[in-house]
A and B are shown apart, each in its own frame.
Chain A
Amino acid sequence: MTVLQDSYSRSTDGDERERARCLGLLARAPAELLEAWAAGLGATEFEWLRQPEQGLVMVQARAGGTGERFNFGEMTVTRCVLRLRSGRTGVAYVQGRSKRRAELAALADAMLQDPELAEAVRNGLIAPVAAHLASESERSARKAQATKVEFFTLAHEDD
Chain B
Amino acid sequence: MNEENQVEEQPKPLILEKLEANHADALLAQDASRGTVVVVIHKDQVSAVLEYLKTDPELAYTFLVDVTAVDNSQMESELMQFDYARFMVVYQLYSFQGQCRLRVKVPVHENDLNIPSATGLWKSANWLERETYDMFGINFEGHPDLRRILMPDDFEGHPLRKDYPLRGRGERESFNFEKQNV
A binds B: no
Give the interface of A toward B (CB within 8 A).
none
Give the interface of B toward A (CB within 8 A).
none
